Amino acid sequence: MYKRADSWYSDFWYNGRRYTKTWGAISKTVAKEKEQKFKTEVREGKHELRAKKILFENFAEKYLEAARVNKKPSTVKRNEVSIRMLESDFKGKLIDKIHPFMVEQYKRTRKERGAKPATINRDVTTLKNMLNRAVEWGFLRFNPIVKVKSLIEDNEVMWCLTRKEEENLLQECDKRPQREKYLKDLALFALNTGMRQAEIFNLKKSNVKLKDRYIEVTDTKTHNNRRTPINDTTCEILKKRLKEKGSEYIFRNEKGRKLTVLTNAFWKAVDEANLYKWKIDEKGEKERVRFRFHDLRHTFGSRLGMAAVDIKTIMEIMGHKTHKMAMRYQHPEASHKLNAVKILDEVPSKSTTRKVVNFKSQ
């Protein structure tokens, strides 16, 4: 309870909903009595909040306005893309009329049009987040689609580089033009730190603590700072790049500005190193999959997993929030699994080593 001018006000939350009431210019004692009665009625369900009527597209504007203040630009851009897709099915509809079956129809329609499960899931996640904000802001009493399930995502080809593939890629990166000579260092850095592309691009010299052998990663996807350890390979790269003048960033373009996108030189190196695979899509057709910069991070995580590093440590180094993400790196490549079972060749079976004793009748 608080007082503004001569009037008393009550403002409180109950079961995730906000309730406000103006009592007017009365004494504090009387206002407290009225507030206590009001809270009792709320608990008894006598003051159910009514949803505010607002169209999907109008609320989407409010949602994006808040997102631009509170979220990273890349996340906002992803939200904008999803909302454009969602408008095809939800534009012109009141948000309090959206229900689970409508979302299931949207998922089916998007899938029939060729959208991948991961893309559809991002759209649905955006819609869920929108309706969560609608509850917080008093436009809805509850989120009606909170129990809508995500599609199974099986479209990602996670690539762990072999040592030969790594050698080929680094050689090709080293052949790039002078203005892009940072490419080899960039690839090696990602392979030895597991940092995301945006985290590397945003890395400043002030974030590097060579003496204590760690990097302070501050601009993260999960918005949680973390410390990434520095091994010897990373240390040599950083020593060299810290000596370069003219920019506060570890990796920069020829003008001293931070990198914002991968240049075509990286993709040229990937093509020259023949880093692509084939997979069968949902229609049974072959689809060419090219190695991505993010697969350097996958390689880092997979190598830690194959070196028997525990999941908790992998999570902390790579900045994962859940065990599910880190568990992906507990499924090693085929050659590693083959070497694992070969250990059994060196261990004699009990059936071949059991001592046979002949008992003679006495």
Half-sphere exposure at residue 65, Cβ-oriented, CA atoms within 13 angstroms: 6
Architecture of domain 56-136: Orthogonal Bundle (1.10)
Cα-based distances in Å from 206 to 67, 217, 234, 252: 29, 11, 16, 15
Give long-range contacts, CB 8 A cutoff, 24+ apart: 32-38. 32/1, 34/10, 35/1, 35/10, 38/10
Q: How far apart are CA 96 and CA 141, in angstroms?
A: 9
Q: Are the beta carbons of 120 and 81 closer than 8 angstroms?
A: no
Residues 6+ apart with CB under 8 A from 32: 1
* Residues forming a β-bridge with 278: 288
Cα–Cα distances (Å) from 150 to 76, 153, 204, in that order, read 21, 9, 37
How far is residue 234 from each of residues 204, 276, 306, measured CA to CA in Å? 15, 27, 20
pLDDT at 362: 43
Tens-digit pLDDT string for the chain (362 aa)? 888 888 888 888 877 667 788 888 889 898 899 999 888 888 877 766 556 789 999 999 999 999 999 888 888 999 999 999 999 999 999 999 999 999 999 999 999 988 888 899 999 999 999 999 998 888 888 899 999 998 887 655 678 899 999 999 999 999 887 667 789 999 999 999 999 999 999 999 999 999 999 999 987 776 788 999 999 999 999 999 999 888 999 999 888 888 888 888 999 999 999 998 877 666 667 777 889 999 999 999 999 988 888 889 999 999 888 877 777 776 656 666 677 777 777 766 555 444 545 545 44
> Is residue 103 classed exposed, middle or buried when 0-12, 13-18 and 19+ CB atoms within 10 A define those classes?
buried
| pLDDT (0 to 100) of residue 50 | 59
C-alpha 281/C-alpha 157 separation (Å) is 11
What are the structural domain ranges in the chain? 2-43, 56-136, 156-346
Q: Which of 163, 156, 167, 192 is nearest to 272 (CA)?
A: 167
Structure tokens that stand for 320 in this block: 């994962």
Dihedral of CA atoms 172, 173, 176, 181 in degrees, nearest 10, equals -150
In CATH, which superfamily holds the domain spanning 156-346?
Intergrase catalytic core (1.10.443.10)
Contacts of 102 (CB under 8 A, 6+ apart): 89, 90, 93
Give CA–CA dist 129/139, Å, rounded.
13
Overall pTM > 0.85: no
Look up residue 52 and give its two tokens. 């505010």
Residue written as token pair 């060419």: 288
Give yes or no for a contact between 193 and 215, defined as CB atoms under 8 angstroms apart. yes
Positive or negative torsion for Cα 124, 129, 133, 135: positive
The pLDDT value recorded for residue 349 is 56
Q: Residue 49's pLDDT is what?
A: 56
Q: In angstroms, rounded to a whole number, what is the distance separating the alpha carbons of residues 13 and 9? A: 14
Residue 276: half-sphere exposure toward Cβ, Cα within 13 Å: 13
* Residue 331 DSSP class: S
pLDDT digits (tens, 9 = 90+) for 206-265: 999 999 999 999 877 767 889 999 999 999 999 999 998 889 999 998 888 888 888 889
Return the structure tokens found at 3.
């007082």
Report the candidate in 188, 234, 189 with the shortest Cα–Cα distance to residue 209. 234
Q: Is the dihedral of CA 26, 30, 33, 34 positive or negative?
A: negative
328: DSSP letter: G
User: Which pLDDT belongs to residue 361?
Assistant: 46
pLDDT by residue (tens digit) across 273-300?
999 887 766 666 777 788 999 999 999 9
DSSP string, 250-303: SSB-TTSPBP-S--HHHHHHHHHTT-EEEEE-TTS-EEEEE--THHHHHHHHHH
